[in-house]
Amino acid sequence: MILLFHGSSDHQHNEQAKALAEAVGAGYAFMETEPRFAGEGLAIPMFIADGEDYRKALAAATVKSPPCLSGPASLTICGASARSCTSSTAPTPPAR
């Protein structure tokens, strides 16, 4: 299983993506930086929101999971397919 991320010029961002994948026992690859996704294996796109980059990763991925955010205050926690996703409303932050 490969978690497929966008990738960034920010080294710390890429290291955090790598740590997340390793924490769940998965491999990782990026669409825009090294190590690039080679198009092989069970790849799951890990994107926050819909957009051109997400749709590009979705086309290359094996698992067609939705992006994590499906609306302004809604967080979708995804499984192996869109049918196994559950949604919950994000809590409202306290007023300051």
Type of residue numbered 10: D
Q: Give the residue carrying structure tokens 């979705």.
A: 58
Q: Could you report the per-residue pLDDT of 46-63, keeping only the tens digit for each? A: 998 888 888 999 999 999
Instruction: Using pLDDT thresholds of 50, 70 and 90, give the confidence band for residue 71.
Output: low
Q: Could you report the per-residue pLDDT of 17-47, keeping only the tens digit for each? A: 999 999 999 999 999 889 999 888 899 999 9
- Tell me the C-alpha distance between 53 and 34, whole Å: 16
Which positions ≥6 away from 83 have C-beta within 8 Å?
Answer: none
What does the pLDDT read at residue 70?
Answer: 65
Domain assignments of the chain as residue spans, ordered by start: 2-66
- Is the pLDDT reported for residue 72 higher than 70? no
The pTM score is: 0.67
What does the pLDDT read at residue 84?
Answer: 39
Q: What b/e string do you get for 22-33 counting C-beta neighbours within 10 Å, with b at 16 or more?
A: eeeeebbbbbeb
